[in-house]
A and B are shown apart, each in its own frame.
Chain A
Amino acid sequence: MFAKNILLFGYGNHGKFIAQGLAKDGFSVKVVESNQEYYRQAQEDGFQDAVHMDVTKDDALKALNPQDYVKLVCVMDDEHLNVFLTLSLHSLFNESYILSISDSMHTTKKLKMAGATKVIDLYEVSANRIHNILKRPVATKLLEGFVLERDGIGFKEMIITEDSFLVGMTTDEIDFSPYGVLLVGMIDEELGHAFVFITAGINHNLDCDDTIVCIGPRDKLEAFSEEIKKRERSI
């Protein structure tokens, strides 16, 4: 599994919510902020080890030891600073996984050029949603609930362990319905590291270390993820 430590740059509009969400999920988050007010806010919200520093200084960045963190997340409110920071981090620690957010088309391009591993574009996702709402309003509303709500129905990814009864079976063979969940797609390590939707129509062989993504009520998903670790299926 992942080492659960994250270095989060920025505790503004986005950083605040992301930090709190991650902390809730058991991640250890270290907040770095250049804005005095946001920094104080972070400390008040319980991120005691938050650092207040000038993120444009390479020495200060090196002192943070970013290579010890599994992911570096750049969500500074100032988009120029965010691009600069991404560039600095990439040039200093080019092995690191850098996740940045962008709030304009132009910034997305710049962030990618600056070396961000993944860029999440605020407007791209939203603009797509408008098209979806216009075309299929009900599905979009439901889907949004699946993704955003913490309870009710949601998605979950699970890694197939060596001992799982799923190893060696094909996706068509397995009947997921008794568990109350549906298989949405998987990452087949045999076919390269690409995500395949189950509806693509190819019958996949499940192997150890493949990742499957299921949809269902949260409690059933939890139960199912425990279930697939077993050698024998109980239902």
Chain B
Amino acid sequence: MNQLLLSLALYLRTSKRYKKSKNFVSDLLNNSSNPYKKYVDITIIFLIVTSVFILIYEVKHPVPEWVDNYDIYFVSFVFSIEYILRLWVYNDLSEFVTEEYHESQFLQRKFEPWSVLKIGLVEKLKYMVTPAAIIDLLAIFPAYRPLRVLRIFVLFRVLKLLRYTKSINQFVEVISNKRFELLTLLFLLFFIVMTAGIAIYVLEERLNPNIEDLFDAVYWALITISTVGYGDISPVTPEGRTISMLIIVSGIAMISFSTSVIVSAFSERLIELKENRIVEQVNKSRSFLIVCGYGQMTKMFFRQKKDALHNYIILDKSLERVETARKDGYDAIHEDASRFETLNKFNVEHAKITILCLTASDVENIYITLNAKSISRKIKVIARVNDISIISKFEYAGADHLLMPNRVVNTMVHTAITQPTMYKAVHAILTGKSLAHIDEVHIHEFHSLVGKSIKEIDFKGSKLLFIGIQREGKFMFNPSTSEHIKSYDILLVMGRHISVNYFNTLYAGDI
């Protein structure tokens, strides 16, 4: 038996397919940055909503059998599959068994898989008693027909929505942070309600026709302390009325206290919640910009952008600058981009991320570059270099593009003095303000220009100046007219934006 268990565990541990599918399911169910998770979420939410709708509808109307079957069998089936999958991916039993096997081999003791298996199962059990897992389980129950009362368990399906709505999760999280205060209050409430209930029961049970047993008395106490006061039970003796007055006063105190606890919990976490929301929002897009530092250059960058930029987030270490950014109307969060945890929060796996390191400190910029590249090589980094002598360090760190404001300005001053006409041209091209700027035409595999020679292409007709070809990292300036265009070439052209667009529509597309 042990042998069988071991070989099964070893098989599962080594099977790539098993591991891959388990990771896939885990990611799909739990990782909110997985692009397919939203489809799973939408499906589940749809099932819940229809299920509740059917529950309400069938109170007064007969429902067709297929609807009933859908509600009972299909929805419950999907939910049980989901429950089982969640339980499955929670931990890995085969890992426990194989580890125990390796340990026993190493220590040359008897291989006993059951004890470790028990630990693993206990862990799974611990998961099963978490509120979320219990709700998941109860949501499956309405499938059991003979007990009609189980129909009400459909409402647990509504609670299942909690898992899929971020704001409620955050609410629960905030509340659970104030567990101690709220539990104290709850205990106090329980104490007062019970005391008042017993007191009224003892004092009025015989005199008050509405109070028949202790349950009635406790019910009255709770209705009174909550300041709801239905009025179906009311005290008839002066002693009873005194007790009512006391618990009404303590009820008001308790309500205001609990309100203030919840409000303060929220205000403490409000900024954090807001920042998390911004990060989540930006993580949803397929490609976005992370701008590090809100200084002069960042301000200029945003000011120059004519159409509003949507997919971006500004990070800054200084709270003051974050405040300024918010006042200027940009999404900014107070985080240190050089920390691993900060950048790791973003959807590195599934989105195309470009990081702009625009802080005034070179050390900081290099650190952010390294940090980003250590998380994923896929992240594109555009870094600002202040000290020209350390360019090579940025290149080692892996920055994709370097901004050298000092060097550019020095060149501009130099050009303005030595070649004033050219200065205008260069400035116009560099700032992209003028009618003409240099643009690139990317030739993809099925582009209609592939295989054509340069003389066959009418650049002049589109009012473009053909400057050269970038091929395999090398630039060919003004190549001979017999040169043929290859796939993945990038043509460098100069001209108005509309000319480039016209050229693209004229030639792009499949052969």
Which one, A42-50, A55-63, A81-89, A150-158, is touching chain B?
A150-158
**Chain B residues with CB under 8 A of A181:** 478
**Residues in chain A near residue B409, CB distance under 8 A:** 14, 101, 120, 122, 125
List chain A residues, Cβ under 8 A from B428. Answer: 195, 197
Cβ–Cβ contact A123 & B300, under 8 A: yes
A168 at the interface (CB under 8 A from B): no
Q: Quick one: CB contact mask for A99-124 with B, threshold 8 Å, 1 for yes?
A: 10101110000000000001010111
**Which of A30-38, A136-144, A226-234 is near enough to bind chain B?**
A136-144
| A6 with B434, Cβ < 8 A, contacts A120-B409, A127-B301, A195-B425 known | no
Question: Which among B413, B463, B478 is the interface contact of A99 at CB below 8 angstroms?
Answer: B413
| A25, B413: Cα distance in complex, Å | 13
Contact between B417 and A14, CB atoms less than 8 A apart = no
Contacts of A216 in B (CB 8 A): 477-478
Q: In the complex the two chains form, is A124's CB within 8 Å of B300's CB?
A: yes
A130: contacting residue among B296, B356, B422, B435, CB under 8 A: B356
A198 to B496, CA, bound (A): 10
Asked if A156 contacts B418 (CB within 8 A), the reply is: no
Q: Which of B455-469 contact A (CB under 8 A)?
A: 463-465, 467-468
Q: Is B426 located at the chain interface by the 8 A CB criterion? A: yes
Asked if B406 and A14 make an inter-chain contact with CB atoms under 8 angstroms apart, the answer reads yes
Q: Does B495 contact A (CB under 8 A)?
A: yes
- B435-469 contacts to A, CB under 8 A, are 435-436, 438-440, 463-465, 467-468
Contact with B along A65-106 (1 / 0, CB 8 A): 000000101010000000000000000000000010101110
Chain B residues with Cβ below 8 Å from A131 are: 301, 304-305, 432
CB of B401 within 8 A of CB of A133, answer: yes
- Give every chain A residue within 8 A of B274 (Cβ-Cβ): none
Q: Does A224 contact B (CB under 8 A)?
A: no
Most buried by A among B289, B403, B433, B439: B403
Judging by beta carbons under 8 Å apart, are B496 and A199 in contact? yes
Q: Are A157 and B465 touching (Cβ within 8 A)?
A: no
A21 to chain B, nearest CB (A): 5
The answer, yes or no, to whether B6 is at the interface (CB within 8 Å) is: no
B410–A138 CB distance below 8 A: no
Most buried by A among B303, B407, B431: B431
Query: B436 contacts which chain A residues (CB < 8 A)?
Result: 185, 197-200
Residues of chain A lying within 8 A (CB to CB) of residue B494: 184, 197, 199
CB pair A142 B475 closer than 8 Å? yes
Q: Which residues of A lie under 8 Å from residue B439 when comparing CB positions?
A: 136, 139
**Residue in contact with A200 in the complex, picked from B400, B415, B435, CB distance below 8 Å:** B435
Question: A182 within 8 Å of B by Cβ?
Answer: yes
Instruction: Give A6-36 as 1s and 0s: 1 = Cβ < 8 Å from B's Cβ atoms.
Output: 1000000110011001100101000000000
Also in contact, A138 and B492, with CB within 8 A (given A182-B465, A197-B434)? yes
Q: Which of A176-235 contact B (CB under 8 A)?
A: 177, 180-185, 187, 195, 197-201, 211, 213, 215-217
Q: Which of B305, B356, B412 has the most CB of A within 10 A?
A: B412
- Whether B382 sits at the interface, judged by CB under 8 Å, is yes
| Docked complex Cα distance between A118 and B354 (Å) | 34
Q: B414 at the A/B interface (Cβ < 8 Å)?
A: yes
A134, chain B: closest CB distance, angstroms: 7
Encode B367-395 as 1/0 by CB contact (under 8 A) with A.
00000000000000010100010000000
Residues of B within 8 A of A134 (CB): 289, 354, 382
* A170 in contact (CB, < 8 A): no
CB within 8 Å for A123 and B425 given contacts A6-B417, A118-B416, A199-B436: no
Q: Does A148 contact B (CB under 8 A)?
A: yes
Name the interface size band of chain B.
35 or more
Question: Judging by beta carbons under 8 Å apart, are B492 and A128 in contact?
Answer: no
On whether A157 and B499 interact (CB within 8 A), knowing A99-B417, A122-B405, A131-B301, the answer reads no
**Interface set, chain B 28-73, CB cutoff 8 A to A:** none
CB atoms of A155 and B431 under 8 A apart: no
Chain A residues with Cβ below 8 Å from B408 are 122, 125-126, 129, 147-148
- Least Cβ–Cβ distance between A213 and chain B, in angstroms: 5
A125 and B430 contacting across the interface, CB-CB below 8 Å:
yes
Identify which of B384, B421, B428, B431 gathers the most chain A CB atoms within 10 Å of its CB.
Answer: B421
Contacting residues of chain B (62-112) with chain A, CB-CB under 8 angstroms: none
Q: Check if A138 sits within 8 Å of B470, measured CB to CB.
A: yes
Cross-chain contact B406 with A13 (CB below 8 angstroms): yes
Q: A103-B296, A128-B432, A129-B403 are in contact. Are A120 and B416 (CB under 8 A)?
A: yes
- The yes or no answer to B299 lying at the interface (CB within 8 A) is yes
Q: How far is the CB of B213 from chain A (nearest CB, A)?
A: 75
Bound-state CA distance A215–B425 (Å) is 11
Partner of A18, one of B401, B410, B426: B410
**B296 and A105 form a contact (CB under 8 A):** yes
- Measured CA separation A27–B301 after assembly (Å): 35
B429 touches A (CB below 8 Å): yes
Alpha-carbon distance between A120 and B299 when the two chains are bound, in angstroms: 17
Q: Are B440 and A211 in contact (CB under 8 A)?
A: no
How far does the Cβ of B359 sit from chain A's closest Cβ, in whole Å?
A: 13
Asked if A138 contacts B478 (CB within 8 A), the reply is: no
With a CB–CB cut-off of 8 A, which chain B residues contact A187? Answer: 421
User: What residues of B have a CB within 8 angstroms of the CB of A213 in the complex?
Assistant: 421-422, 425
Are B492 and A127 touching (Cβ within 8 A)? no
Q: Which residues of B contact A27 (CB under 8 A)?
A: 417-418
Q: How far is the CB of A118 from chain B (nearest CB, A)?
A: 6
Please pick, from B300, B465, B477, the residue contacting A198 in the complex, using a CB distance under 8 A.
Answer: B465
Query: A184–B430 contact, CB under 8 A?
Result: no
A77 to B446, CA, bound (A): 53
Q: Which residues of B contact A (CB under 8 A)?
A: 289, 296-297, 299-301, 303-305, 354, 356, 382, 384, 388, 400-401, 403, 405-422, 424-436, 438-440, 463-465, 467-468, 470, 475, 477-478, 481, 490, 492, 494-496, 499
Given A143-B429, A197-B436: 6 more A-B contacts, CB < 8 Å: A27-B417, A101-B409, A120-B416, A123-B297, A126-B300, A153-B475
Can you list 14 A-B contacts with CB-CB less than 8 angstroms, sorted by A residue number?
A: A18-B413, A22-B414, A120-B409, A122-B406, A124-B304, A136-B439, A138-B492, A147-B408, A147-B430, A155-B425, A155-B426, A157-B421, A184-B494, A200-B496
